[in-house]
A and B are shown apart, each in its own frame.
Chain A
């Protein structure tokens, strides 16, 4: 059962979508599957929230969409990263690394004297 993703995960979710698309164009289902397997199902968000996120990214111009044919010959909407999206991915990855490093550093810091 899906539970509401904490706010901090909203941005992370966009980041993961961009990352998923960095391997090449994919339809929404494939993006969802990749996130599932890559995170070991740890981020179990409602699959439904994936699509508004994709459309929002399209609106911002980070991904573009076109209709194509899926591996089982069905009409499907494929998303791919735009160059702006690629740049955004780089920025967000860097941000996330800095952020995570800071949190880890804090978690491993000695006690307050």
Chain B
């Protein structure tokens, strides 16, 4: 019963409990058989007897194998844990022994990981967290789709009813509409943001109530809807969270509402409001009516049936659009509908910039990793002897790699722990900075997910920067180190790896610097855009005239005239005017538009932005007249209808013609264009001006009016006087949004400023880390080559020559990084193209700047090592 050679070999290679047990048991049987044969039994009989005496061979064998396997597993585990504990203790000792290295490494990692976690917490809160509605991923915003392809997220009441009644894709379709209302009888008159909601909106979104109830069906009938549900925050602010508020009366916009409910703290519409009332289902809320179809004032949300294909919704809405086109050609002739996901609507335009930032911060982390890998390589070169001795004492390569990796994981986790603190402070700072209308910032914070993310990043980071040095250090050349007495055994390969890492760091830094440079250039371009008005030394505010005192348009006009007259007599005021629309605040209402009797050209929106202004408006905001005349006091309500058009409108509707004197029809009224005014920014500086028509305020009077006052001095100093004037004329008139016009410009720049500043910060961080990398490599090289440098000096090389040699070395590394980096940066340019303004992805100025900055950093980083090299004493160096 011999075992095959193969079996023996296998057992030699690894433990084989099964074979061993088999051997042991058959040995026993063999011995017994021999004994029995010696006693005179035949071999045949002896074998039978032996087996019988043995009993149940199989179960005995199985029991032995099981016990052995169990024992082996436990031993492996114990051994592993023991080694891990040893490695861990050893790592801590080694790191404590080199505090400078440990500090630099942990600081690098903490910065990288902290920045990554901070941005991740923003990305999670803003982009990843689902919206706080039930079935949020099935909620869609229904839009009106105009002939030129622009979509506007609002519907008219009849179109809403048509879609509500004949769509086949939504389980439910609901609507809401916002309004600014004046709140009286609660101290200072103030404005309240109100919204009217359709009968199933709260229920569809799954909004809960803290107290009271929602609206019932009858309350949606005209005249029955004087009931209100309060937003939780408004309830807290206005009523101090008083539970007895239910049943009380709230007087807003000249109407008394009975408070019937309060929403839960986290319950909010996509368009937040302070109080909600039932949407009044007037006569236009009908799928069959033709009137009111072109008055789009409803935000419409639909909840899709589960499992719809992506294009199913748009197809069905298109079908309804076509149906309405043939049914109501006058109003719906050229319109149709589309939908986009609610989440997309809320976060759509911040996704790209946030992801760019996240990518950038990932680059910073990679640079930090490369930096620490570099430090580790240098350190491991210095530890060659130790490693060689450990190998000689029997530690396998795997064992050494594991021990070195333990060190890097300890570093990674330490960096992660401090990084978490940085992320915590960083996130708080970000939120405090209130970066211009980034939605859902309230969701951002360091929570369990972020901590978990940080932990994973720390571990992965530790493995990432640890693996190259560990493999490098324990490679085949290790044993030669022992033989050669350790002097520079890693030499060439180690140095190449380190140079490679530095080049990689430089490359990443160049990509980030290029991105930051492009954004900075865009930002400068944005600030250079002529806004078309002069925001300096002017201040604006809004008043909304509601209630019995303002029943007639003439009463409103009179009050505006009084306000302007009183303000005009204040010292220092040079101009004052009223308008329905300030610069950089959109295009106002969009009205249909027709020149003469000509039918509208195809694929053009036959519409124009409408603003009402008092005669002095353009003088007050500082916009020039291009041709024709300004509006005057003579363009009153009884005078012929007139209008001014902006240059963009003149270009669009009167190419190569003079619009002055031409007649246009808008809102069913024919007007004569009497002048052309300069374009004024309507949104932010990155967007071109669009057609805008200015009507005399006397001919189109709005309840809500913005007053602009231009002064010779500090506009803010005027604020108290403005309040006094308005209060003296009507103490019930709330004064809102009192702010200098310059603030409009500043806030339009807030978002690009925020992204640019962050990206510049990350790029700077990457540059700093990469420079440390160059510094490290050169310092090490100088230390290693002291002897060689000494010989050079002894042979007559000048100190200047040595300095030059080191600096050139730094520049070569930087040049490699810059070359690679620019290639990568250009290739990645399209990622930020949508964020750029007035500058192309390949911008010579930016690229030149990056090359200069990198070169300068390389020279700066090499300065100290170079000086040290030049100071080498040839005699000492040679004696060593």
Contact = CB atoms under 8 A, between A and B. Distances in A.
Interface in B232-275: none
A5 to B, nearest CB: 11
B23 A2 contact: no
Nearest to B28: A29
Interface stretch (A8-16, A72-80, A99-107): A72-80
Contacts of A90: none
Given A29-B32, A56-B67, A51 B24 contact: yes
User: Could you tell me the dominant secondary structure of chain A's interface residues?
Assistant: helix
A27 B30 CA distance: 13
Interface stretch (B55-63, B694-702, B718-726, B867-875): B55-63
A48 B60 contact: yes
B80 interface: no
A75 B55 contact: no
B64 A55 contact: yes
A49 B28 contact: no
A77 B27 CA distance: 9
B77 interface: no
Contacts of B68: 55, 59
Interface in B20-69: 20-21, 23-25, 27-28, 30-32, 34, 52-57, 59-60, 63-64, 67-68
B27 A52 contact: no
A29 B27 contact: yes
Given A27-B27, A28-B28, A46-B55, A52 B70 contact: no
A83 interface: no
Given A29-B32, A55-B68, A74 B27 contact: yes
Contact of B56 (A28, A32, A48): A48
A58 B59 CA distance: 18
A76 B67 contact: no
B20 A59 contact: no
A52 B71 contact: no
Interface centre among B25, B27, B31 (most CB of A within 10 A): B31
Contacts of B56: 46, 48
A109 interface: no
Interface in B821-847: none
A47 B28 contact: yes
A67 B818 CA distance: 65
Interface residues of B, number: 25
B478 to A, nearest CB: 33
Contact of B71 (A59, A75, A76): A59
B34 to A, nearest CB: 8
- B32, B53, B70: residue with the most chain A Cβ atoms closer than 10 Å: B53
A46 B59 CA distance: 12
B723 to A, nearest CB: 89
A49 B20 contact: no
Contacts of B67: 52, 55-56, 58-59
B27 A48 contact: no
B28 A52 contact: no
Contacts of A32: 28
B60 A74 contact: no
A46 to B, nearest CB: 3
A29 B28 CA distance: 5
Nearest to A32: B28
B53 A47 contact: yes
A67 to B, nearest CB: 8
Contacts of A56: 67
A58 B27 contact: no
Contacts of A39: none
Contacts of A42: none
A1 interface: yes
Nearest to B20: A77
B321 to A, nearest CB: 79
B57 A48 contact: yes
Given A48-B55, A49-B55, 10 more contacts: A1-B52, A27-B24, A28-B27, A29-B28, A46-B53, A52-B64, A55-B21, A55-B68, A56-B67, A77-B20
**Nearest 9 A-B pairs (CB), nearest first?**
A46-B55, A48-B60, A48-B55, A52-B63, A55-B67, A29-B31, A59-B71, A77-B24, A55-B64
21 contacts: A1-B52, A27-B24, A29-B31, A32-B28, A46-B54, A46-B60, A48-B59, A49-B60, A51-B24, A51-B60, A55-B63, A55-B67, A55-B68, A59-B67, A59-B68, A59-B70, A70-B31, A74-B30, A76-B27, A77-B20, A77-B27
